[in-house]
Amino acid sequence: MSAAPTTRRTADAPIAPAWLALLAGPLSFGITGPTLVLAEIARDLGVSLVGAASVVTAFGWGIAVGTPLAGGLLARRGLRTALVVAALLVAAGAVLVIAVPVLAVLVVGTALQALGAAGFTVVAMSIAGSAAAMGTVTASLAVLGSIAPLVGSQVAAAWGWPVALVMPVLALLAVPAVLRAGTSGGRQAGRFDLAGAILLVAWVTALVMLTHSPVAAAVAALALTALLAWHVRRRPAGFVPVELVRAPRFLVASGLALALAVVNFGIVYAAPAMVTDLTGWTSGQLGLALLWPYLGGGAVSWFLVSGSARLSFPVWVATLAAGAVAAPAIVAFGNGSVALLFAGMAIGSLAASTGNGALALWAGAAVPQAVRPTAMGLFTLFYLLGAAFGPVLAALAVG
């Protein structure tokens, strides 16, 4: 995971990159941390695996809509307000999850945590004043995402699965250090496009609900797409700038990023059950085994993204699309082989990690400089929608 929207730095004093990593990285615990404990959650709550996966869907929804909303709050109210609001959301969500562990409340609590975690990530990337600091932030997201299944299973075994669901709260440890650094600076002028923000949130919500109520959500999504398109024409400089919808390369990059994320997060949740059926490994053994394909994919992707300028956009699209097709095919048809399952995981991780970085560069270059921060926020929205779709599709696939 990478490429949250960036803004002009507004901090009064430099902040150690380690604090930025601690602020942003725990978001990954909410996405992949429940991987190995969903069956336990389903059993304890008396719901299906698909029902239990709704807590992950809620987190995916929260970070998807929270990223552009946090960017708007940051631009208009400053870093301090954005940071405090994010902290309150994460804390409130964690309290709900721990205090009332029933499915409906868990969905609300994880969604609140996700909204706050998205805000933390936006703040961390806005403060990162150098390439090294930015690299530390993005690396923390990838590394913690890789170890989150193992950590989540161990935390659940020691203290119960509700504690595993509130791991994003670790980001609160960085809040005092960031607040002490000071967050003065300019704020974006102009009236906030509230109608555009509401339409975007409603549209994303309808898309997320496609996996739960396909017919109703599809009708709502189509209607909201028409309303959002009308609003963009009526207010071309609003929450969704018209330059973005008129940039084919931006749209292709965002759509492919969504597909890669759906594949990757779907495999993250589907493959462990398949591996367990073949090996009989415990959750701890499985968590250790899962480290290698995801850490390896993330590490190799750093080199590929660094050299992304050497390949043309059509070549990147074709290559990444091939990865998006190959990874689930290998997992689906290689269910009798542990080696093939791990190969599918590694390819899915590599394609998603590389695509997120490389496609973000192309998406940003496809739009005018004035709307580039907004473009990065909306590009990230599409990628993070994969965190909402993938787990539910995986639960449907494995039963």
pLDDT in tens, 122-138: 888 777 765 556 657 76
Backbone angles phi, psi at 281, to 5 degrees: -65, 150
Comparing 269 with 98, the larger pLDDT belongs to 98
Instruction: Give residue limits of the domains in the chain.
Output: 17-192+239-398
Q: Which residue has the higher pLDDT, 108 or 237?
A: 108
Mean pLDDT, residues 196-204: 90
6, pLDDT greater than 50: no
Least confident of 205-214, 278-287, 293-302: 293-302
Q: Is the pLDDT of residue 64 over 50?
A: yes
For the domain with range 17-192+239-398, which CATH number is right: 2.40.430.10, 3.10.20.30, 1.20.120.530, 1.20.1250.20? 1.20.1250.20
Render pLDDT for 246-293 as a digit per residue (tens, 0 to 9). Answer: 899 999 999 998 999 888 888 887 888 888 888 888 767 777 887 778
* pLDDT given at position 284: 73
Do 346 and 335 meet the contact criterion of CB atoms below 8 Å apart?
no
**Higher-scoring residue by pLDDT: 248, 4:** 248
- Which comes out higher in pLDDT, residue 361 or 165? 165
Q: Whole-angstrom Cα distance, residue 326 to residue 318?
A: 12
Percent of the chain with pLDDT over 70: 87
pTM of the model: 0.78
Q: Which residues contact 270 (CB under 8 A, 6 or more apart)?
A: 331, 394, 397, 398
What is the gyration radius of the CA atoms in the chain, in angstroms?
20
